[in-house]
Structure 1
Amino acid sequence: MGRTFRQSAPCPRGAAGSAIGLPIRTESPGARAARPVRRGRGEAPQDAAERGAQGARAERVAERLSGGAGRALTQTDTFLRAPRGRLKLRDCGVRAGGGVTDGQGQLIFYECPDSEGPKLSHYSISPTADPAGLVAVLSEALGVQGVVKKERRLYMVGQTRVHLDRVEGLGDFLELEVVLSEQQSPEDGERVARRLMEELGVQEEDLVAGAYLDLLLAGGSPT
């Protein structure tokens, strides 16, 4: 099993590791009028003009640091009931020519504290070519805790995955995931995350405790 400072990726091959993760709200469907644009739930446009001011800045900085426009993804995460940690089946889609590819998925188990600020996540990932069939079987066996649907733009900045997410029913978020090497400590990952927070203009008050699923189950309110 591996370590992360918490982030996800577009359907890689089987893997285990650790990461330091950092979810940050940049806009919500009920955001105050001072934001440049206000959107309804379930809408999924991807251009910077329709993001909040902080999200637009994060997008510009992420493009500059990564050297590209990022990768557009669609992801549906079905969270299954598990005795410990979190277990989810991710159905992945990559936007290409206006369509979405199917037949790609991942079964992901991870453990991560529900606290504000950078947090260490241990994860294991197994790919599947039949996410719909597998989620049907696992849902029958274990039960479903909830479903998170999102449009994601992924940027790679060094060892960090930068996600600009539009989560159905929640709004827009920025998520950082610093994937740790075997030689790195959680403190090393947190330093990387903090430096990137500064470049992206993220303040401590922007940080969100809990995962997208927790916010949805709580009615969309950040803690």
Structure 2
Amino acid sequence: MPRNVEIKVHVCDLDLVKQRIIDLKKSNSADNETVVLKQEDIFLNLPNDKAGKLKLRKIEGSPQELIYYDRTECPGPKLSSFYKCNVPEELENVLLNALGTWGVVKKHRTLIMVGQTRVHFDCVEGLGNFVELEVVLNENQTVEEGQTIAMNLMSHMGFTESDLLSVSYVDMLRQKDNQS
């Protein structure tokens, strides 16, 4: 099962943090490619005894993906195990009708790779601006090695552990809706 170590931080000035990563990339690599994605994640119901989340991810101009992931909702760099596959559009109706949905997250994401880390600069509809790090672990890497990489990048961007969020975007949106 693929694994990564993740962190998420709410930020006020997304451009400032993005520039810090671009500057880091310039000093360490000739590759300064950024990818801009328009994403919609539709969260599907799972049986009550099943941990984790199942989502159908739609990315403008790309095949749809079905992603199942499991991670502990806690502060700090956390391990996430996941499976994903491309799915044809016809399967969307089957999944939506068979399982039903419980949340939708729409976001504009800028992706910049820093070594083995996917750095996401997200503008999430209804929530604001965030940075997510996903340190993609190699098969032989420990969680602690991934956490060290995440902590070093966090420090470079000016974040501390107290800045880290413990919940997913979909859970934040549900909490916000429940408070309304």
TM (norm. structure 2) is: 0.89
**Aligned equivalent of 1:40:** none
Find 2:15's aligned residue among 46, 51, 56.
56
* Aligned residues of 1:59 and 1:164 also touching (Cα < 8 A): yes
Paired residue secondary structure (1:163):
strand
Runs of 4+ in 1 over 6 A off after TM superposition: none
Counting only pairs closer than 5 Å after superposition, residues 73-88 of structure 1 correspond to structure 2 as 73-83=37-47, 84=50, 85-88=52-55
Deviation at 1:199, TM superposition (A): 0.5
2:28 alignment partner in structure 1: none
Q: Compute the displacement of 1:69 (Å).
A: 5.1
1:28-39 alignment, distance < 5 Å: none
1:23 alignment partner, one of 8, 29, 50: 8
Q: C-alpha offsets along residues 89-136 of structure 1, whole Å, 9 cap, x if unaligned? A: 00011xxxxxxx2x5110000101111111000000101242xx3222
* Selected match of 1:168 from 125, 130, 135: 125
Structure 1 stretches of 5 or more lacking a match? 2-16, 28-51, 94-100
Please give the alpha-carbon distance, in whole angstroms, between the structure 1 residues aligned to 2:96 and 2:121: 29
Q: Take 1:183 and 1:141, find their aligned partners in 2: how far apart are those partners?
A: 38
Which residue pairs with 2:175 in the alignment? 218
Contact residue 159 and residue 179 of structure 1 kept, 8 A? yes
1:75 and 1:89, CA in 2 relative to 1: closer, same or farther beyond 3 A? Answer: same
Which of 55, 59, 64 lines up with 1:105 in the alignment?
Answer: 64
- Provide the TM-score with structure 1 as the length reference: 0.73
Extract unaligned runs of 5+ from structure 2.
26-30
Matches of 1:170 and 1:207, distance apart in 2 = 15
Structure number with higher helix proportion: 2
Q: What SS does the aligned partner of 2:138 have?
A: coil
Aligned residues: 170
Q: Distance in 1 between matches of 2:107 and 2:45?
A: 20
**TM alignment of 1:118-157, pairs within 5 A:** 118-130=77-89, 133-157=90-114
CA distance in 1, matches of 2:46, 2:103: 12
Of 200-209 and 140-149, more deviation after overlay is shown by 200-209
Q: Secondary structure at the match of 2:108?
A: strand
Identity across the alignment (%): 41
* Corresponding residue to 2:159 among 192, 195, 202: 202
The two structures, once aligned, show a CA RMSD in angstroms of: 1.6
The alpha-carbon deviation at position 220 of structure 1 amounts to 7.0
Q: Deviations over 1:13-54 (max 9, x none)?
A: xxxx10000010003xxxxxxxxxxxxxxxxxxxxxxxx2xx
| Paired letter, 1:181 | N
Who is 1:36 aligned against? Answer: none
**How many angstroms does 1:70 deviate by?**
1.1
Structure 1 counterpart SS, 2:11: strand
